[in-house]
């Protein structure tokens, strides 16, 4: 009989506040009106929405089958509930934050999406990727419109430039030029790591301007001012370049076909220097005020201010005055007047006169991403900062207008933060309480106690650099071993440090374990000694009184000296043996009572990092940095099996601690290769590979009941994997792994073939073959074959029926009968309409040309019966574009197209008439409502006042272009 095993599946993930793989987005929409706002952040493969004031998790966006890291987030300007999220595998999903579900998914990039941007109307999305391509997506039709190629390295900045219709001077008054602005698709500004800044015309889909954005190598960030009058690019060595963008000329060029002389819309206005020499990561302009934030990967964010026109003029006047004084000294008064003429001209001002550094915000951790926090009714400057150390902070910055005098220096303060639900550093050790309800996680600087069921952080303690931890019997005290050689005891209930013992004189404590009888603990460290500590309750005098209070103390009872540093140690469950692994790659087993050597285990080529002993004290497993797991017998010390377990160092191994289902010799291993593996220690076979983490897995803990395990990784997440009722059969698991391997190679090989023809073109189709599109293509081909054979059967029956009216209906395919005796064309239409709009084009590309006549036969029937005309047209036009040459050269296909044209025109005319009738009716209804309602009164002076306000608000930036 084939042995089956039970499957472990992911159930919970916690411990991440914000991962450093993606940018963060501030969202001010608030249903309760009580919160300060929301932060939308990446948490490995999920997106989290935090209430920044309460520090609560409001929503978690996750798809079951998606394991790719989130690498970019963008919020729609028109619909604040819509967010675009880019992933490491090149896919993009549009999420609706109201219902926390993915509405549309796109696949077009070959590698990680680096930046996303919505257009003004929110119907288009542009995405830049590490594969150097920029793709423009249509969110209404749910398709990729086209791919723009021009950058030679990853795209680092992206922004739609959609100028307003041109304003022309008429008789001294400004009037809007009557232009049909609907045809204009606007422009796109992109920067890449290849140090280029490019301006693309989206109407003609080509690059109209290219400049070198950074003189010192790479361009890492692009920030565009809200009024589109200019932009700032930033790169290495703290260099920032300011560019003026001629929006008026750009808007005018959109209306003209022929640009006779080459016009430059982007002008280099000069270079600014940040105080830090690190490479920049982001430049973000404030949407409403004259500030922008820029930061690199250091622990600060620089806030720069754009000076007002009057300030720039004052600065120029001061400079002019100084020049005059200098010239007067040099007795060159003759040149003074010549200098004066252009001195007041603001357009001639140096860029350092226009931009001033406002304040440098010092942050707790290294900055990964920032966003301006804009709240209703609040005039404060607020900046949301996401750090690389799993932290969110909100800073309030004092603006220039709030400073009382010129000498005052702008200040800032940390207003709010989300830091409790996660560690700042990698978790090095995990320990579960005896009832499996609490989890202790220890990292450099902090120890946290979690409720496993609710994933809430119950306690946070400050500790040293923790390397190992364990719950003491009773689950009220946690003991921690640190890199500084201290054993620290923490009381969970009172959240206090009970005692700290300098156990190993400054040498790191790599391992500790509580004795199975619960009365003592053993610690092993880099001082080549294992020390045994007994728990004693000592009556300690309360200071200043005669009273005493009981206190838990650690008292050293014995010491075991060994030849090298101790990396791991383990008691056998029957408490007779103690196994110790040393830095010299050996494992020594001692008797606990006499501390005499019992066994030496030789075999590993590199040090043993972890080990465990089975519940019956018969087997010991050791895992090493040499990527091998060895299973040894504890009776003779013989190696039963050496398993090549992982692709990198194996950091943790652990047996299931009991034998309820005959699984006492089953164990788990966790490695730097980001996987956990489930093994059968009797049959020496891998049962299951558990994927999910995005970094090396440092710690592993198995529940005492054996029904779940907890793992902690470099990606800052703590994940719980629960045993399910689903059975695993080893053969099926092997087949599944091989299939995954085959599918990944299949899609990559297809991708290379398809793209080879238009490698050198600037514009290409935004397509990418995935397993989903291949399967959809196969479904279409299958439906076409079934449908065509059915059409032929029905046709033959109809011909025969003409001569024999009493002829019985033909025997149709079982599928058609099962679906309620539907027609062949209805079956094909159902198959086509079930395919996602975003995957349809790629699915149709899978069809060979031999299937195209079959498809056209059905398209003709769809047109004839007016079935889903939008989808019919979409498929027809795409197929005509794709197979144009073959269709033109085929006589039979041309006849077919004539029939389709006639039928489709009739159907479209009918739909057009219907729509025209409906629109006219709506207009009539609208007019009737308007007549009944109160007439709207317009203040005549209102427009002029608005215009004046706008001119006052006009940035100094605008006048520089």
Q: Tokens at residue 7, please?
A: 């499957």
Query: Over the stretch 522-568, which tens digit does the pLDDT of each residue have?
Result: 999 999 999 999 988 888 777 778 788 888 888 999 999 999 999 99
Instruction: Give me the pLDDT at residue 751, please.
Output: 60
Q: Read off the pLDDT of residues 647-696 as tens digits, 9 standing for 90 and up.
A: 999 999 999 988 887 888 999 999 999 999 999 988 899 999 999 899 99
Query: Is pLDDT at 937 greater than 60 in this prediction?
Result: no
Tell me the pairing of strands 486-491 and 282-285: unpaired
With cut-offs at 50, 70 and 90, classify the pLDDT of residue 943.
low
Token digits for 535? 């728990």
Residue listed under structure tokens 């005959």: 662
pLDDT at 171: 47
Tell me which DSSP letter residue 307 carries. P
CA atoms of 873 and 867, how far apart (whole Å): 11
What average pLDDT score do residues 901-914 get? 88
C-alpha to C-alpha distance for 388 and 545, rounded to whole angstroms:
49
Residue 339 has pLDDT above 60, yes or no: no
Token pair of 139 as six digits: 């969110």
Q: How confident is the model at residue 178 (pLDDT cuts 50, 70, 90)?
A: very low
Q: How confident is the model at residue 588 (pLDDT cuts 50, 70, 90)?
A: very high
Q: Model confidence at 624, in pLDDT bands (50, 70, 90)?
A: very high
pLDDT tier at 948 (50, 70, 90 boundaries)?
Answer: low
With CA atoms as reference, report the closest residue to 824 among 772, 862, 776, 871. 862
Q: Which pairs count as long-range contacts for 780-783, CB under 8 Å and 24+ apart, including other chains?
A: 780/831, 780/832, 780/835, 780/843, 780/844, 780/846, 780/847, 780/851, 780/855, 781/846, 781/847, 781/851, 783/827, 783/828, 783/831, 783/832
Cβ contact 14:717 at 8 Å: yes
What's the whole-number mean pLDDT along residues 698-712?
A: 93
Mean pLDDT along residues 844-870: 85
What mean pLDDT, rounded, does the chain reach? Answer: 84
pTM of the model: 0.85
> Which H or E element spans position 824?
helix 824-834
Instruction: Match 């034998």 to its residue by tokens.
Output: 659
Q: What is the pLDDT of residue 440?
A: 94
Which position has the higher pLDDT, 813 or 341?
813
Q: Given this model, what pLDDT does residue 508 score?
A: 93
Could you give the 3-state DSSP secondary structure of residue 947?
Answer: helix
pLDDT tens digits along 163-174: 876 555 544 444
Could you tell me which residues are beta bridge partners of residue 782? none
Q: Is residue 935 very low, low, confident or very high in pLDDT (cuts 50, 70, 90)?
A: low
Query: Using an 8 Å Cβ cutoff, are 499 and 513 in contact?
Result: no
pLDDT digits (tens, 9 = 90+) for 812-821: 888 878 888 8
3-state secondary structure 246-290: CHHHHHHHCCCCCCCCCCCCEEEEEEEECCCCCCCCEEEECCCCC
- Give the separation between CA 117 and CA 630, rounded to whole angstroms: 52
Comparison of pLDDT for 180 and 535, the residue scoring more: 535
Here the tokens at position 795 are 């046709």
* Residue 336 near residue 399, CB atoms below 8 Å: no
Cβ neighbours around 376 below 10 Å, total: 9
The residue with tokens 């989206």 is 202
Position 408 scores a pLDDT of: 66
**What DSSP character marks residue 743?**
H
CA–centroid distance for 560 within its chain: 49
Going by C-beta distance under 8 Å and a sequence separation of 6 or more, which residues neighbour residue 821? 812
Question: Nearest to residue 430, comparing CAs of 670, 630, 616, 623?
Answer: 670
Per-residue confidence band for 622, with pLDDT thresholds at 50, 70 and 90 = very high
Q: What is the pLDDT of residue 176?
A: 47
Q: Tell me, what's the pLDDT at 29?
A: 65
The Cα 391–Cα 15 span in angstroms is: 11
- Res. 579: pLDDT tops 90: yes
Band (pLDDT 50/70/90 cuts) for residue 348 is: low
Distance CA 805, CA 784 (A): 30
- Write out pLDDT tens, residues 378-430: 677 889 999 998 899 999 888 777 776 666 677 888 888 888 888 999 999 99
> The tokens of 619 are what?
């087997």
For residue 261, pLDDT over 90 is answered with no
Length, in residues, of the chain: 961
Please, are residues 229 and 257 in contact by the beta-carbon 8 Å criterion?
Answer: no
What 3-state DSSP class applies to 335?
A: helix
Would the pLDDT of 334 be above 60? no
Going by pLDDT thresholds of 50, 70 and 90, the confidence category of residue 342 is very low
- The band of 840, judged by pLDDT with boundaries at 50, 70 and 90, is confident
> 738 to each of 380, 733, 767, how far by Cα in Å?
57, 9, 26
pLDDT tens sequence across 47-96: 999 988 888 888 899 988 888 999 999 999 888 889 999 999 889 999 99
Q: Report pLDDT for 481.
A: 94
Q: What is the pLDDT of residue 269?
A: 85
Question: Cβ–Cβ contacts within 10 Å for residue 661, how many?
Answer: 12
């Amino acid at each position: 009989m084939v042995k089956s095993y039970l499957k472990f599946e992911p159930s919970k993930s916690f411990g991440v506040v914000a991962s450093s793989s993606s940018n963060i987005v501030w969202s001010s929409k608030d249903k309760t009106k009580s919160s300060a706002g929301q932060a939308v952040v990446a948490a490995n493969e999920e997106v989290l929405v935090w209430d920044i004031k309460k520090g609560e998790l409001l929503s978690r966006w996750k798809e079951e089958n998606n394991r790719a890291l989130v690498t970019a987030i963008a919020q729609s300007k028109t619909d604040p509930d819509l967010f675009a999220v880019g992933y490491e595998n090149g896919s993009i999903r549009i999420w609706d934050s109201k219902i926390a579900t993915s509405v549309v998914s796109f696949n077009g990039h070959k590698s990680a999406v680096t930046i996303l941007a919505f257009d003004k109307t929110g119907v288009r999305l542009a995405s830049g990727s590490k594969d150097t391509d920029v793709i423009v997506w249509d969110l209404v039709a749910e398709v990729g419109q086209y791919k723009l190629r021009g950058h030679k390295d990853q795209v680092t900045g992206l922004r739609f430039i959609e100028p307003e219709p041109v304003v022309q001077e008429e008789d001294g008054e400004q009037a809007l030029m009557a232009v049909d602005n609907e045809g204009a698709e606007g422009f796109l500004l992109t920067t890449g790591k290849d140090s280029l800044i490019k301006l693309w015309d989206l109407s003609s889909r080509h690059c109209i301007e290219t400049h070198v954005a950074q003189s010192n190598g790479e361009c890492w960030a692009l920030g565009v001012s809200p009024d589109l009058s200019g932009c700032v690019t930033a790169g290495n060595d703290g260099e920032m370049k300011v560019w003026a963008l001629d929006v008026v000329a750009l808007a005018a060029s959109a209306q003209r076909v022929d640009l006779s002389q080459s016009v430059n819309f982007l002008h280099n206005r000069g270079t600014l220097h940040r105080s830090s020499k690190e490479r920049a990561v982001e430049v973000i302009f404030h949407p409403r005020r004259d500030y922008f934030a820029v930061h690199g990967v250091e622990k600060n964010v620089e806030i720069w201010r754009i000076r007002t026109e009057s300030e720039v003029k004052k600065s120029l006047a001061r400079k002019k005055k100084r020049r005059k004084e200098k010239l007067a000294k040099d007795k060159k008064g003759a040149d003074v007047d010549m200098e004066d003429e252009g001195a007041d001209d603001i357009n001639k001002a140096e860029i350092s006169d226009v931009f001033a550094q406002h304040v440098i915000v010092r942050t707790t951790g290294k900055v990964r991403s920032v966003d301006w926090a804009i709240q209703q009714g609040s005039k404060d400057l607020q900046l949301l900062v996401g750090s690389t150390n799993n932290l969110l902070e909100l800073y309030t910055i004092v603006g220039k207008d709030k400073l009382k005098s010129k000498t005052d220096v702008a200040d800032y303060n940390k207003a709010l933060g989300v830091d409790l639900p996660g560690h700042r550093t990698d978790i090095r050790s995990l320990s579960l309480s005896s009832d499996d309800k609490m989890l202790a996680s220890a990292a450099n600087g902090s120890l946290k106690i979690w409720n496993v069921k609710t994933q809430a952080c119950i306690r946070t303690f400050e500790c040293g650099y923790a390397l190992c931890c364990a719950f003491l019997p009773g689950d009220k005290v946690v003991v921690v071993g640190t890199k500084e050689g201290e054993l620290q005891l923490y009381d969970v209930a009172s959240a206090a440090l009970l005692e700290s013992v300098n156990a190993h004189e400054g040498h790191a404590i790599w391992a500790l374990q509580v004795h199975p009888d619960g009365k003592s603990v053993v610690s092993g460290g880099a001082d080549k000694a294992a020390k045994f500590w007994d728990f004693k309750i000592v009556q300690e005098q309360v200071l200043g009184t005669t009273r005493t209070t009981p206190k838990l103390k650690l008292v050293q009872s014995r010491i075991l000296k060994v030849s090298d540093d101790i990396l791991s140690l383990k008691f056998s469950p029957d408490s007779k043996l103690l196994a110790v692994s040393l830095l010299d790659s050996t494992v020594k087993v001692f008797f606990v009572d006499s501390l005499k050597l019992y066994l030496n285990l030789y075999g590993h080529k590199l040090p043993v990092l972890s080990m465990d002993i089975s519940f019956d004290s018969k087997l010991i497993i050791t895992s090493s940095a040499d990527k091998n797991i060895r299973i040894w017998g504890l009776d003779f010390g013989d190696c039963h099996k050496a398993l090549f377990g992982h692709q990198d160092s194996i950091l943790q191994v652990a047996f299931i601690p009991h034998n309820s289902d005959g699984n006492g010799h089953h164990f788990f291993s966790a490695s730097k290769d980001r996987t956990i593996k489930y093994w059968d220690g009797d049959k020496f076979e891998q049962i299951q590979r558990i994927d999910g983490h995005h970094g090396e897995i440092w710690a592993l803990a198995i529940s005492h009941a054996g029904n779940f395990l907890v793992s902690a990784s470099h990606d800052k997440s703590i994940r719980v994997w629960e045993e399910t009722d689903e059975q695993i059969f080893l053969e099926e698991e092997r087949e599944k792994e091989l299939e995954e391997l085959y599918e990944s190679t299949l899609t990559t090989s297809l991708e290379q073939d398809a793209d080879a023809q238009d490698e050198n073109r600037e514009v290409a189709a935004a397509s990418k073959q995935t397993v989903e599109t291949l399967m959809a293509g196969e479904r279409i081909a299958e439906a076409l074959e079934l449908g065509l054979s059915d059409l032929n059967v029905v046709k033959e029956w109809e011909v025969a029926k003409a001569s024999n009216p009493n002829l019985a209906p033909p025997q149709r395919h079982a599928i058609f009968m099962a679906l309620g005796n539907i027609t062949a064309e209805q079956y094909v239409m159902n198959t086509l309409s079930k395919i996602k709009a975003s995957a349809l084009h790629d699915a149709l590309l899978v069809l060979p040309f031999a299937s195209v006549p079959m498809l056209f036969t059905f398209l003709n029937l769809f047109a004839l019966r007016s079935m889903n005309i939008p989808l019919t047209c979409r498929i027809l036009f795409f197929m005509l574009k794709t197979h144009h040459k073959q269709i033109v050269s085929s006589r039979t296909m041309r006849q077919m197209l004539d029939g389709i044209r006639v039928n489709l025109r009739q159907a479209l005319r009918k739909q057009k008439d219907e729509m025209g009738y409906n629109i006219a009716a709506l207009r009539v209804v609208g007019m009737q409502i308007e007549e009944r309602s109160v007439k709207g009164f317009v203040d005549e002076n209102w427009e002029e006042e608005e215009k004046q306000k706008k001119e006052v608000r006009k940035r100094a930036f605008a006048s520089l272009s």
